[in-house]
């Protein structure tokens, strides 16, 4: 579906996403961080946009997501929510904005809603964060849980690796999913777990769970828009399908611009503002 203008479309609600799961329809989510990309995502009719803390790597050039701050998240959430009128917007709670205390978690989740204008927040972690999720939900803030590969604890996990490959790890991730649902999360993100574990989780849950790098059986798919269009320079994870090579288009445009500037074929008369002869004469008379 292409919405001619996302602004005319009805706003997607949490209930709409639940209905999609109930009807067996897939949920489409992309991660983006800025106004022009969010505008395009909304026009394309995606169901949800995540303002991910992956912005630390993708648009701020850092090694991982750990250093992302609340101020950075709010700044990017505002840019995205100015553009999106249709999709449900989720903002990531950055590292140490919710781990320090339940009060901090509620306060910071509230800031993403009040200052970033998002519809819901996402936080990483399983069972150990169930009481935090419950408290945020009880404060009236919708929460998405994030299990499997949790990039904020990438050092503890030993790198960006597939999670839940042995029976104990798989059982823990399944238990995490169930406890987040019981705590009141309305949706989960399952990142980088084997396909049949993701399937099992989705079958056990009432709430929808979208996957990223977790195979085809999840209730929906999520990718970073920048990965999909070839705009992240560092690496392309195995699970990403690149739908376009926008870097190549931008490079070509920049090279052509450079060539034209150097040989003087840009700007042409069409790109100029003209000064009428009378004004020019007056200026020359005055300045000599
Ligand atoms: O920050 C992000 O982009 C995410 C996705 C990996 C789900 O959390």
Tell how far the Cα of 252 is from the centroid of ligand 1, in angstroms.
30
Q: Which domains does the chain have, with CATH numbers?
A: 14-244 (3.20.20.60), 249-287 (no CATH)
What residues flank ligand 1, with Cβ below 6 Å?
A: 31, 50, 52-54, 92, 146, 189, 191, 212, 222, 224
> Ligand 1 centroid vs 213 CA: distance in angstroms?
11
Going by alpha carbons, the residue nearest to atom 8 of ligand 1 is 52
Q: What is the pLDDT of residue 6?
A: 47
Mean pLDDT along residues 59-76: 96
- Tell me, yes or no, if 191 is annotated catalytic: yes
Distance CA 127, CA 173 (A): 9
Least-confidence region, from 39-43, 118-122, 155-159: 155-159
Of all protein residues, the one whose alpha carbon is nearest to atom 2 of ligand 1 is 52
What's the chain's average pLDDT?
A: 95
Contact present, 77 and 116 (Cβ < 8 Å): yes
Q: Report long-range pairs for 67-72 (Cβ below 8 Å, ≥24 apart).
A: 67/95, 68/92, 68/94, 68/95, 69/94, 70/94, 70/97, 70/108, 70/111, 70/112
Q: Give the tens place of pLDDT for each residue, 127-155.
A: 999 999 999 999 999 999 999 999 999 88
> Which of 232, 261, 234 has the alpha carbon at shortest distance from 33?
232
What's the CA gap between 133 and 268, in Å, rounded? 59
Angle at 148 between CA 147 and CA 150, to 5 degrees: 75
117 CA to centre of ligand 1 in angstroms? 19
pLDDT digits (tens, 9 = 90+) for 24-51: 999 999 999 999 999 999 999 999 999 9
Q: Residue 159: what pLDDT?
A: 86
Per-residue pLDDT at 236: 77
Ligand 1 centroid – CA 149 distance (Å):
10
Catalytic residue among 115, 181, 191, 248: 191
Q: What is the pLDDT of residue 9?
A: 75
Going by C-alpha positions, the residue among 41, 13, 53 that lies closest to residue 208 is 13
| Residue 192 confidence (pLDDT) | 97
**Residue 61 token pair:** 């050039």
pLDDT digits (tens, 9 = 90+) for 172-222: 999 999 999 999 999 999 999 999 999 999 999 999 999 999 999 999 999
Residues with Cβ within 8 Å of 64's Cβ and at least 6 positions away in sequence, in order, are 56, 57, 151, 154
The ligand 1 atom at the shortest distance from the C-alpha of residue 124 is 8
What does the pLDDT average to over 249-273?
97
Q: Which residues pair with 211 in a beta bridge?
A: 190, 221
């Amino acid at each position: 579906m292409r919405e001619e203008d996302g602004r005319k479309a009805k706003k997607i609600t949490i209930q709409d996403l639940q209905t999609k799961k109930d009807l067996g329809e897939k949920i489409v989510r992309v991660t983006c961080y800025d106004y022009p990309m969010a505008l395009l995502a909304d026009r394309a009719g995606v169901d949800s946009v995540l303002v991910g803390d992956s912005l630390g790597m993708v648009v701020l050039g850092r090694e991982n997501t750990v250093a992302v701050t609340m101020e950075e998240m709010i700044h990017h959430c505002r840019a995205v929510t100015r553009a999106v009128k249709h999709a449900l917007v989720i903002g990531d709670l950055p590292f140490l904005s919710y781990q320090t205390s339940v009060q901090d978690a509620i306060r910071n989740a509230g800031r993403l809603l009040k200052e970033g204008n998002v519809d819901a927040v996402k936080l990483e972690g399983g069972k150990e964060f169930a009481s935090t999720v419950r408290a945020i939900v009880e404060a009236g803030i919708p929460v998405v849980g994030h299990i499997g590969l949790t990039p904020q604890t990438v050092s503890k996990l030993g790198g960006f690796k597939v999670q839940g490959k042995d029976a104990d790890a798989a059982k823990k991730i399944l238990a995490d999913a169930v406890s987040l649902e019981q705590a009141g999360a309305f949706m989960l993100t399952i990142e980088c777990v084997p396909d049949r574990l993701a399937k099992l989780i989705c079958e056990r849950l009432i709430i929808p769970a979208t996957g990223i790098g977790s195979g085809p059986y999840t209730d929906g798919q999520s990718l970073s828009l920048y990965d999909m269009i070839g705009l992240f320079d560092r690496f392309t994870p195995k699970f990403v399908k690149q739908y376009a090579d926008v870097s190549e288009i931008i490079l070509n445009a920049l090279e052509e611009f450079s060539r034209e500037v150097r040989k003087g074929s840009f700007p042409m008369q069409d790109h100029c503002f003209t000064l009428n002869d009378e004004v020019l004469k007056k200026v020359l008379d005055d300045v000599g």
